[in-house]
């Protein structure tokens, strides 16, 4: 992975590497000093400052703030919050000074006089630590640059004067305690870079190792850590002390790549194409980098999603997309890194031998205008993600930007009803299957989701929908299950080899034939039994005068495992509403009688747990009493 990241960072031009840089939040001050008369005659010639608030000014930086951000990029302490690597700080053990450059000084407002850290924690106050800081920082520069560092040190020596100056700045009193106070000398960026290069040479490695052929090597700081304080976590029998040592030049390239990743200007996930010497491969790489650069310049809300970018690249390539790495990097964490040998953009339905999928509205889902919903034809994997997987797990958590991110329980709470309900089973399903969905869609690993996994992913969430009375979601999921099961389960093993779109049509037709026949038409298999049971249960429960519109009563039926007990429960429900069914005005009474007769006569031994979705299909599909003869 390090090699691929290094190769990616090396081909980025300097302009690309500057996109998205952000200054630290707080007060940014640029001090101009005139050294025309030498160090002894240096005088302050001007001060510029600006307060930066990321929420208010993100994407709208002034030239001044961009300049400050560029200086901070080459002045800040490495791995400041990482333990035990905070030794890279020049202000130990207090860690109140955040920079390492002799030309830049940064702290937080809480470290100033009257701040919480100044009062409570620091025994040696920050103004007393300034000489110690500059003594270390000046080791990074040649003697000819000492005059700049000495001037800044002398200026900060008069700490009271510095703090009085801060109080004269508009908006300083409104800054929070965590706001940064950053003082920059107005020097060429090359001067800052030279000092920071010396700092990186000494501190970029987490562990420096003996040089090899005069070349500095060590263990990179990129996502590396040592268990110095926990010996029981160390390898006790390893034949090596440290694994993965790299050169300093390589470590700097990785460090540069990490800074670009942390700016969130690249698509997530990030495709890293191998930089082939072949003309076609080189052309693709140039296209990719040009596209990334174009999107990085835009505001976050205006950037194309990963799906749109990959679609554009796929359509512009004559040979498709293959042989690239896919990195999922979020909030400083590497969630996934894998090689994609070939990306399959288009769908191929092996069962029907066609390059599309159709979702049939078997359950009669209605639109807002009360019309039968029509599903779009699915031609590619991103449509599959939108139409099939998103409704199963949660729309928000199936977007490419967050598919492998942290799942929040509050995103799985339904508050539309009188009481809030936690979608517990949906949350568990998301935890279990989102990585498989990611592999299937984004990496074309078709074995990531097979028939049993797809069925369990969907069916396990139905309990949440029943509890929350989400009838439309249940119907949507049943439409999906019955319409595309064969895509993941080519032999339809989930349904004993039955192709469900045809089977559901035959079940509906059989139900109406039994209901309207003057002669007996027996139920032939357990699927007909389960579907007709759902139809009857739904009809009988609709006759209830109860104000409870939940599906709690359905639990009584679906929890049964013995078919005789199941039929007894239906019989009790029929007796409860017998008078309503048999009244002369009920034109459907003969239909009910015919269906009840065949239900009670069915005597085959079946596994009701496997018929759960068929009972729900009968229960939620348009029932016989709403259809004509």
pLDDT tens-digit profile of 538-565?
Answer: 988 888 877 666 787 888 898 888 999 9
Say if CB 486 and CB 492 are below 8 A apart.
yes
The residue among 266 and 215 whose pLDDT is bigger is 266
pLDDT tens-digit profile of 411-423?
Answer: 888 765 556 678 8
Mean pLDDT of the residues in the chain: 86
Are 425 and 564 in a shared domain? no
DSSP calls for 327-393:
EEEETTEEEEEEEEEE---B--BTTTTBS-B----TT--B-TTS-B--PPPB-BHHHHIIIIIHHHH
Using the predicted structure, report yes or no on whether residue 228 has a pLDDT greater than 60.
no
Query: Quick one: average pLDDT of 152-168?
Result: 90
Query: Quick one: average pLDDT of 368-389?
Result: 92
What do you get for the CA distance between the two ends of the chain, in Å? 66
Contacts for 575 with CB less than 8 Å, ≥ 6 apart: none
Angstrom CA distances, 64 to 19, 56, 77, 186, stand at 15, 16, 22, 11
pLDDT band per the 50, 70, 90 thresholds, residue 99: very high
**pLDDT for position 106:** 94
**pLDDT for position 316:** 87
Q: How far apart are CA 259 and CA 20, in angstroms?
A: 10
Burial (CB count <10 Å: 0-12, 13-18, 19+), residue 13 = exposed
Please work out, in degrees rounded to the nearest 5, the angle formed at the alpha carbon of residue 279 by the alpha carbons of 274 and 283.
Answer: 65
299 part of a folded domain: no
Please give the residue range of the domain that contains residue 575. Answer: 504-620
Pick from 464, 495, 526: which residue ends a domain? 495
**pLDDT for position 30:** 94
Are 173 and 69 in a shared domain? yes
Pick from 495, 520, 546: which residue ends a domain? 495
Please work out, in degrees rounded to the nearest 5, the angle formed at the alpha carbon of residue 39 by the alpha carbons of 48 and 90.
Answer: 70
578 part of a folded domain: yes
Are 490 and 551 in a shared domain? no
Phi, psi of 421 (to 5 degrees): -125, 135
**pLDDT for position 624:** 72
300 part of a folded domain: no
Say if CB 405 and CB 269 are below 8 A apart.
no
From 21-30, 337-346, 439-448, 619-628, the region with the lowest mean pLDDT: 619-628
Domain count of the chain?
A: 3
**pLDDT for position 280:** 60
Please state the pTM of the whole predicted model: 0.87
Are 149 and 16 in a shared domain? yes
Are 511 and 392 in a shared domain? no
pLDDT tens-digit profile of 491-517?
Answer: 999 998 889 888 888 998 999 899 888
From 62-76, 127-141, 409-423, 602-616, the region with the lowest mean pLDDT: 409-423
Are 452 and 509 in a shared domain? no
Are 603 and 572 in a shared domain? yes
Using the predicted structure, report yes or no on whether residue 582 has a pLDDT greater than 80.
no
């Amino acid at each position: 992975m390090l090699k691929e990241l290094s190769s990616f960072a090396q081909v980025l031009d300097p302009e690309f590497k500057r996109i998205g840089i952000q200054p630290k939040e707080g007060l940014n001050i640029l001090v101009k000093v005139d050294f025309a008369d030498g160090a002894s005659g240096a005088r302050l010639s001007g001060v510029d400052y600006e307060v930066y608030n990321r929420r208010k000014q993100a994407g709208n930086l002034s030239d001044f703030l961009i300049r400050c951000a560029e200086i901070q990029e080459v002045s800040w302490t490495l791995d400041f919050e990482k333990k035990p690597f905070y030794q890279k700080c020049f202000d130990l053990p207090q860690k109140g000074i955040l920079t390492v450059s002799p030309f830049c000084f940064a702290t937080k407002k809480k470290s100033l006089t009257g701040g919480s850290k100044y009062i409570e924690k620091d025994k040696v106050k920050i103004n007393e630590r300034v000489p110690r800081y500059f003594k270390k920082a000046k080791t990074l520069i040649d003697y000819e640059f000492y005059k700049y560092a000495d001037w800044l040190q002398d200026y900060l020596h008069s700490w009271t004067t510095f703090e009085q100056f801060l109080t004269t700045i508009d908006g300083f009193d409104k800054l929070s305690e965590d706001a940064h106070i950053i003082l920059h000398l107005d020097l060429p960026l090359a001067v800052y870079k030279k000092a920071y290069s010396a700092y990186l040479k000494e501190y970029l490695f987490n562990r420096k190792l003996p040089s090899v052929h005069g070349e500095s090597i060590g263990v990179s700081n990129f996502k590396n850590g040592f268990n110095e304080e926990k010996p029981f976590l160390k390898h006790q029998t390893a034949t090596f002390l440290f694994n993965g040592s790299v050169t300093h030049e390589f470590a700097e390239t990785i460090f540069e790549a990490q800074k670009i990743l942390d700016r969130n200007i690249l698509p997530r996930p990030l495709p890293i194409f191998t930089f082939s010497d072949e003309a076609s491969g080189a052309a693709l790489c140039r296209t990719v980098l040009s596209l990334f650069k174009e999107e990085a310049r835009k505001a976050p809300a205006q950037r194309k999603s990963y799906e749109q970018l990959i679609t554009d690249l796929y359509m512009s390539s004559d040979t498709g997309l293959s042989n690239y790495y896919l990195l999922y990097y979020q909030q400083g964490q590497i969630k996934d890194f894998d090689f994609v040998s070939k990306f399959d953009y288009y769908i191929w339905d092996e069962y029907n031998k066609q390059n599309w999928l159709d979702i049939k509205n078997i359950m009669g889902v209605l639109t807002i205008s009360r019309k039968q919903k029509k599903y779009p034809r699915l031609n590619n994997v991103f449509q599959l993600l939108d139409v099939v997987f998103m409704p199963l797990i949660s729309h928000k958590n199936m977007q490419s930007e967050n598919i492998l991110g942290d799942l929040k329980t509050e995103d799985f709470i339904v508050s539309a009803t009188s009481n809030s309900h936690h979608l517990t089973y949906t949350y568990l399903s998301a935890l279990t299957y989102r990585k498989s969905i990611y592999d299937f869609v984004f990496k074309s690993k078709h074995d990531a989701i097979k028939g049993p996994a797809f069925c369990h992913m969907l069916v396990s969430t139905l309990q949440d929908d029943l509890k929350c009375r989400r009838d439309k979601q249940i119907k949507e999921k049943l439409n999906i299950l019955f319409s595309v099961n064969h895509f993941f389960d080519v032999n339809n093993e989930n349904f004993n080899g039955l192709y469900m779109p045809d089977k559901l049509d035959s079940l509906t037709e059989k139900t109406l034939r039994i209901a309207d026949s003057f002669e007996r038409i027996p139920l032939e298999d357990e699927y007909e039994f389960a579907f007709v049971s759902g139809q009857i249960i739904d009809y009988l429960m609709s006759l209830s005068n109860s104000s409870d519109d939940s599906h709690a009563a359905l639990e009584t039926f679906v929890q049964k495992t013995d078919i005789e007990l199941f039929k007894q429960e239906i019989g009790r429900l029929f007796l409860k509403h017998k008078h309503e069914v048999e009244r002369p005005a009920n034109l459907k009474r003969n239909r009910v009688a015919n269906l009840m007769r065949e239900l009670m006569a069915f005597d085959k031994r079946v596994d009701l747990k496997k018929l759960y979705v068929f009972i729900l299909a009968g229960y939620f599909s348009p029932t016989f009493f709403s259809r004509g003869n």
